[in-house]
Structure 1
Amino acid sequence: MKKIILALMFLYNLDAYAQQTASVGIMADSIIFKSADGEITYGGTFSKPAHLKSFPTVLIVSGTGKQDRDGTMAGHKIFLEIANYLNQNGIAVLRTDDRGQGKTTGIYETATTGDFAADALAAVGYLKKRNDVDLNKIGLLGHSEGGAVISIAAAKSKDVKFLISIAGLAMSGLEAQLKQNEDLVNHSALQDYDKKRANDINRIMFETAFRYADSDSLEAKLNEAYAAWKVKDDAYFKMLNIEFDHFRFPIYSYVKNATGPWYRYFIRYDAKSTISKIKVPILALNGDKDLMVAADENLSNWKNFALTGGNKNVTTIKLPGLNHLFLACTTCDNAESAKIKTGFSLQALSIIKDWLKKNFR
């Protein structure tokens, strides 16, 4: 209990964390390294248990949205919490700023999931150059889209020795878009008829984006698809005999996003093909209240897709009462996360620690 209390004291202050780690046997250094072509400089923090000479090393990979090395989301420093717990339990951690964030250069907005996988492998390359890291115990921990990122990286490199997914994506891009948005819509306060309309137009737009992702005509095709739906939807709403129509689909912002490099790549991401190439141990955790990465479907895919490639060393665990950030939730929608005072699930952290110690003593 004393270790947990000490951890919580400095979770939200990086300077205090750096000053106090020595008192609990942790060494933490701010580090800088470059991509293989020298075009991107990465900034991060490498922390390790000071009293051990051999330990697993975990590289944390973020999900969608530009994030700092602490994984600051909805007021919670998720990655710092994970690193602190693992460090105190004999495991080293490297966490980096995303492109265009903190000490890392590059442009996040023009990067794809594949580019983020290259970033992860650049970090693995940095770890391989350290004389205090066991090359046979380097693995990746990915959150949300980070699940796809670590899958791509592991499929490309034999230097990755294990994967840990925390609400990590194991669905193909199109399926993920359909499932995520359907869950969000169905969990919302919209009227049933507006839920139907939202799910209809989402499906039409996502499938159109998938079909024309590699085409110069994508923008035109999306606008055409929306216009055709709008004619039918106007007729449908008129039949409802409701005075005011409050439903809006953000066509302009969606088209702008969908025609960008990230979306074009992501919507065509093939999770089955990618995960089937992974031959290393995999641990996949999900909260059962996650509205962003559905627990049942993604956990099942981690196991089944790996098995198609002959990998049986996959452990999947669904944890009750946890949202996408592994916070204990009540309403479990995204807006609630900022109001939650508790931190990242200690049960999830304990499972990760035990799995690593079992597989990489």
Structure 2
Amino acid sequence: MKRIALLGLAVMTVAMSYAQRISGTWKGMLNAGNQKLEIVFHFDPSKDGGGAATMDVPAQSAMGIPVRLNLLSADSVSLDVLALLMEYTGKLNNGVITGTFRQFGVAFPLELKAGDAGKPNRPQEPESPLGYKTEEVTFTNQKAHVSLAGTLTYPVNYTPDKKVPVVIMVTGSGAQNRDEEVFAHKPFRVIADYLAKQGIASLRYDDRGVGQSTGNQAGCTSADFAEDAACGLSWLKSSGKFNQVGILGHSEGGLIAFMLGAEGKADFLVSMAGPGIKGDSLLVEQQNALFKLKGIPSNVSVSTLRKSMATQPGNVWLEYFMDYDPRPDLERITIPVMAVNGSNDMQVLSDSNISAIRNCLSGKNSKNLIKVYPGLNHLFQHCEPASSMDYYKIEETCSPEVLRDIAAWINSL
């Protein structure tokens, strides 16, 4: 869930200044104790006469962060972010900016060198020629005055006279594109590719205000995003091309799948790490698990969490998420459900969430498949518990056994 902080070190907005000798891309590896973060700056000294810059933190899936320039000479740089109590000072010598990064009173060395950031290896990402047909499409949520743009992927050897199953894919929390691109991975593109090779069509779309979709996410909740997905389901059904129309959701998308499944809007649903417990309880489990992962004692409770959130009013999405309990919706679902999770998921913990889902769906449908995969994290990557949050560093995008099980289950319906 992208809305929840994944790393203790936050690097957001940077203030800098411009010098003639520093332009283009500069990068460095910040070694901050038990974590390493690649920091990338892009300098454009010619823009607007005074220069401009952006910053990337690839491991946090933070790209193109606006940077304000303050002071930059021919051989020195000084920058700070008051809101984050962060500053950096450095000196350019022999092609290297040698400097010190400080945050919350702790100092770390940080060297910057000119050059583009390396592209991470993603062996599962499909390459052309794909071997199947794709089509750029749009559907509309008329109530919200939003147009959603996406990619409809047809199976290998698809012909119009043959009806096939289709899934609409719903992303996790945060503004994401149709590939659910996060940490330089494109999970939905990988899943769509695999399903196409197994005779299953799919529709993946850009979230509101992302890519080619209109609107924005200000003031929106999971219920609003569920309406978008419901409009996509209706569009697929009205096309007349498919024999079964299902929904596949990841994380918050899994929660949305449960919402729509309870309303009978889909023929089947696949939840990948979808929450099965109330939002405030889920966030408490998540925080305690993340602290434990870092070796920090923690006993966050719902009460302390809500007191903390009360000091930060106005986050409509978070308030809705904390109050929403999926169990009443789960108990209303009668269509086939595949609900999966990984044992090393530190964001939607498998023990409590899968147990709640299993209890709510017990005896509802003989085709239900509820499963926990050993050694997989929130993105369904193989990992050790200690590296469960290293999404960017892990080359695998999605476990092959999960892909196989999803396709086999849909084809068995």
Match of 1:148 among 255, 274, 288: 255
3-state SS of paired residue (2:157): coil
Superposed CA offset, 1:313-346 (max 9, x none)? 4211111111110111135546511011123100
CA deviations over 1:240-272 (Å, ceiling 9, x no partner): xxxxxxxxxxxxxxx15xx32111211111211
The one-letter code matched in structure 2 to 1:106 is G
Say which of 306, 328, 346 aligns to 1:273.
328
Aligned residue in 2 for 1:47: 153
Which one of 140, 163, 183 corresponds to residue 74 of structure 1? 183
Larger Rg: 2
Do 1:303 and 1:315's aligned partners in 2 also have CA atoms closer than 8 Å?
A: no
Task: Provide closer, same or farther for how the CA distance between residues 83 and 332 of structure 1 changes in structure 2, counting only shifts above 3 A.
Answer: farther
Q: Is the CA contact (8 Å cut-off) linking 2:375 and 2:385 kept in structure 1?
A: no
1:129 to partner: Cα distance:
2.2
Counterpart of 1:162, as a letter, is F
Which of residues 144, 166, 169 in structure 1 aligns to 2:275? 169
The corresponding residue for 2:406 is: 352
Number of equivalent positions: 289
Distance change (3 Å), C-alpha of 1:301 and 1:38: closer
Alignment of 1:296-335 (within 5 A): 296-307=351-362, 310-311=364-365, 313-333=367-387, 335=389
Distance in 2 of aligned mates of 1:165 and 1:332: 25
Q: What's the CA shift string for 1:276-313, capped at 9, x where partnerless?
A: 111100011111110001112211122211238x4454
Aligned runs of 1:208-219 on 2, under 5 Å?
208=307
SS in 2 for 1:56: strand
* CA RMSD, Structure 1 to Structure 2 (Å): 2.1
Query: Separation in 1 of the partners of 2:381 and 2:408?
Result: 20
**Separation in 2, partners of 1:10, 1:326:** 13
What displacement does 1:119 show? 0.9
Between 1:292-301 and 1:91-100, the stretch displaced more is: 292-301
- TM-score, normalized by length of structure 2? 0.66
Question: Using the alignment, how far apart are the partners of 1:115 and 1:37 within structure 2?
Answer: 10
Preserved contact between residue 342 and residue 376 of structure 2 (Cα < 8 Å): yes
Q: CA deviation at 1:109?
A: 3.5
> Which position in structure 2 is the counterpart of 1:232?
none
* Aligned mates of 1:345, 1:40 — CA distance in 2: 34
Deviation at 1:207, TM superposition (A): 3.8
CA shift for structure 1 position 27: 1.1
2:200 partner letter: I
- Gap change, CA 1:163 and 1:332, over 3 Å in 2: farther
Q: Which aligned pairs between 1:78-89 and structure 2 lie closer than 5 A?
A: 78-89=187-198
* 1:203 paired residue among 289, 295, 302: 302
Where is the strand percentage greater, Structure 1 or Structure 2? Answer: 2
Q: Distance in 2 between matches of 1:38 and 1:342?
A: 37
Report how far residue 181 of structure 1 moved.
1.4
Give the superposition deviation at 1:44: 0.4
Cα distance in 1 between the residues matched to 2:304 and 2:256: 24
| Aligned position for 1:60 | 169
Aligned to 2:134: 28
CA deviation string 1:145-168 (max 9, x = no partner): 112111111212x33011111111
**Aligned CA distance change for structure 1 residues 111 and 50 (closer, same or farther; 3 Å):** same
Offset of residue 356 of structure 1: 1.0
Contact residue 124 and residue 397 of structure 2 kept, 8 A: no
Cα distance in 2, alignment partners of residues 10 and 172 from structure 1? 34
Tell me which stretches of 4 or more aligned residues in structure 1 moved more than 6 Å.
none
Classify the secondary structure of the residue corresponding to 1:101: coil
The structure richer in helix per residue is: 1
Structure 1 residue 115 corresponds to structure 2 residue 221: no
Whether the aligned pair in 1 keeps the contact of 2:255 and 2:275 (CA below 8 Å) is: yes
Unmatched segments (≥5 aa) in structure 2: 1-121
Report whether the alignment pairs 1:186 with 2:253.
Answer: no
In the alignment, structure 1 residue 97 sits paired with structure 2 residue 151: no
Contact 1:143 1:167 in 2 (8 A): yes
Change (3 A) 1:40 1:185: same
Q: What is the CA deviation profile of residues 173-223 of structure 1, one whole-angstrom value per residue up to 9, with x for unaligned ones?
A: 122111111111211233xxxx33xx34x63343448xxxxxxxxx8xx24
Counterpart CA distance in 1 for 2:234 and 2:393 is: 38
1:291–1:333 CA contact under 8 A, matched in 2: no
Q: Which amino acid aligns with 1:275?
A: L
Tell me which residue corresponds to 1:130. 239
Identical columns (%): 31
Q: Secondary structure at the match of 1:351?
A: helix
SS state at 1:57 partner: strand
8 Å CA contact retained: 1:144, 1:166 = yes
Higher relative contact order (CA 8 A, sep 6+): 1
Secondary structure in 1 matching 2:271: strand
| Gap change, CA 1:181 and 1:312, over 3 Å in 2 | farther
Shift of 1:59: 0.8
CA contact (8 A) 2:271 2:338 kept: yes
Distance 1:138 1:332 in 2: 38
CA distance in 2, matches of 1:313, 1:341: 33
